[in-house]
């Protein structure tokens, strides 16, 4: 299975199986077992190599897990490093959570011609917050604030 991503006008085809090479057989076996526990389909090969099928799985996690066990991605063809990074981390489609978007804020130009234009603000600039953040002048008879060793 192949999936395609468009990066900088180039069409990049990535096979749904990634091949990793490890320093030793034990590292490859440990990475293979970790990925299998997380639901990835993996196959061990001779010579401390392992490939991971990515169909319906997370590419980023597979890369990070294999690399954390000392695995190196085996490149059989020249692939632009920016294209691999972009497809792994979805740099072209950065999601902005809905709770960060505030469409309720009115721009000043939207209400410039209304009779209440001078009174409409997105925040209360006239509120009296002068003493809200002053430290309490009172003393507490409970615990000392000193740190002693």
Please give the helix or strand (H or E) that residue 41 lies within, else none.
strand 41-45
Question: Hunting for tokens 């505030």 — which residue is that?
Answer: 102
Homologous superfamily (CATH) for 2-89: UreE, C-terminal domain (3.30.70.790)
Contacts of 48 (CB under 8 A, 6+ apart): 21, 22, 23, 24, 25, 27, 28
Under the phi-then-psi rule, with left for phi > 0, alpha for psi from -120 to 50, and beta for the rest, what region is 145? alpha
pLDDT tens digits, residue range 37-59?
988 888 898 888 998 887 766 78
Residue 120 confidence (pLDDT): 52
Most confident region among 26-30, 82-86, 100-104 by mean pLDDT: 26-30
Question: 85 or 43: which carries more pLDDT confidence?
Answer: 43
Mean pLDDT of the chain: 69
């Amino acid at each position: 299975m192949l999936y395609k991503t468009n990066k900088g006008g180039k069409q990049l085809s990535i096979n749904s199986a990634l091949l990793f090479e490890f320093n030793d057989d034990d590292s490859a076996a440990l990475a293979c077992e970790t990925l299998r526990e997380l639901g990835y389909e993996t196959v061990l090969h001779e010579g401390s190599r392992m490939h991971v099928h990515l169909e319906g799985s997370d590419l980023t996690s597979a890369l990070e897990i294999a690399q954390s066990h000392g695995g190196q991605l085996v490149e059989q063809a020249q692939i632009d490093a920016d294209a691999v990074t972009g497809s792994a981390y979805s740099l072209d489609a950065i999601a902005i959570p809905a709770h960060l978007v505030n469409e309720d804020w009115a721009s000043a130009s939207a209400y410039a011609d209304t009779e209440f234009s001078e009174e409409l603000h997105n925040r209360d600039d006239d509120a009296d917050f002068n003493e809200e953040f002053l430290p309490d002048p009172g003393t507490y008879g409970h615990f000392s604030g000193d740190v002693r060793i």
